[in-house]
Amino acid sequence: MKMRAAVLEQFGEPLVVQEVDLAEPRAGEVLVRLAACGVCHTDLYTASGADPSGYAPAVLGHEGAGVVEAVGEGVALVEPGDHVVTLFSPQCGRCEHCLDDRTNLCLAIRDQQNNGYMPDGSSRISRQDGEIRHFMGTSTFAEYTVMPEIALARIDPEAPLDRACLFACGLSTGLGAAINTAGVEAGSTCVVFGAGMVGLGAVAGCRLQGAERIISVDLSEERLELARGQGATETMLGGEAVVEAILEETGGFGADYTFEATGNVAVMRQAVESARMGWGLCTVAGVAGKGETLDIVPRLLITGRRVAGSSFGGVKGREGVPKLVDRWLAGELDVEPFVSHHLGLEEVNRGFELMEKGSGIRSVIDF
C-alpha cells in the first residue's frame, strides 16, 4: 500500500515527508493505522546524528497510538479494531527477561530492532531506490505502520488516542521511573531534575506513590508551574547552586529519591549529589549525548547512595501501559496539560523546532 511518512534521509537535515510503500504484515505482525504520534526528544536526538546507534534512511517516530487494521498469520494478541499504543520496548512474555520481575528489557527481537529491521531481518517500508528502515521497531511518523504483535499494547477504546500516544514513551518512562524503578515509598522526599515530559511524569509517579515532598527542578518557571499541577510540593530553578539548596532543604542529608530527566550529564551528577547519604537512590532516565560520561565521586557511593538507570520506566509494555492508561481514565492522572501543540505530518520539523525552543511539553501529530 502507499502511505505518507516522514523520512530521515541524512543526519542533521530536516525530515522529508514523502510517499512510500508499506508491505502487508507477515506472520506475527500487525498493520496499524496511526491516529496520533508525539514528537519525542529521542526522535530529534537520532535525527541530529548524536545517536551513535542511528541509521538512515529511516522513518522516525515511536510515540504512537492507533487502530489495528489487519493482522498477519498466527497473530493472537490483538485483532482488527483494537486500539493500541506502540511499544519500542516490546514484551514477548517468554524470554528470560520477560519472565523476571527485575527488568522490562525483552530479548526476543532486540538485535533486529536495534538495526532497524523486523524480526525476520527485513523491512516493510520501501520506495523505488530500496528499503527504508524502521526506527525503534515502530516508525510512527507515518499514516500506517507494520509492527510485531508483541510490540503493541491494547488499551481501552475510550482513551483519546491523541493523549494515549504519550504513554508510548515519555509519560510511561517518567511514571515508571518513580513507580517501578525507584519504587518510591510513601512519606518520602523526592527531587525531580527536569520538568519536560519525562520529568513531569516522574513527579506524577511520586505523587501516586504517596511521597510527602516532591521538589521539581527546572530552568523554566512555566514548566515548574506545570510540575505543581502534577503534584510537586516545591519548585527550584536549576543552576550551579541547586545541590546546596536541596541539601539545605533536607537537613543537610539530601532526598530519599532523586530523578534525572534531562539527558545532561552535569545535571545527572547533581541528581547523584542530591541523593540522601545512607540510602538515597538516584534514578537516571535521561539519554546523554554520544561519548559523554557521568563523573561520580566514589565517596558518594561508599556513604550509601545508589544510582540506577531506567529504560521506559521499567514498564513491561503490553501489561503495564494499559494499567497506566486505566489510571488516567480513572482520574488519577491529568494528561491534558502535556499536549501543547497539535500538528499535521507535514509540520513534523516544526515539532523539532518547538522542542529546541522549549515551547510547551509535547507536540502531537494528528493523522
Bridge partners for 58 per DSSP:
8, 133
| Residue 255 DSSP one-character state | B
Bridge partners for 237 per DSSP:
218
Q: Residue 267: CB partners within 8 Å, gap ≥ 6?
A: 193, 194, 238, 260, 286
CA distance 31 to 344: 21
The SS3 call for residue 200 is helix
The answer, yes or no, to whether the previous bond of 52 is cis (omega within 30 of 0) is: no
Task: For residue 227, give the amino acid letter.
Answer: A
Which class for 244: exposed (0-12), middle (13-18), buried (19 or more C-beta within 10 A)? exposed
What would the grid cell of residue 218 be?
A: 527546572
CA distance 115 to 259: 30
Q: How many CB atoms lie within 10 A of CB 16?
A: 14
**Where in the sequence numbering do the catalytic residues fall?**
40-42, 62-63, 92, 95, 98, 106, 110, 169, 362
The SS3 call for residue 234 is strand
Task: For residue 175, give the amino acid letter.
Answer: L
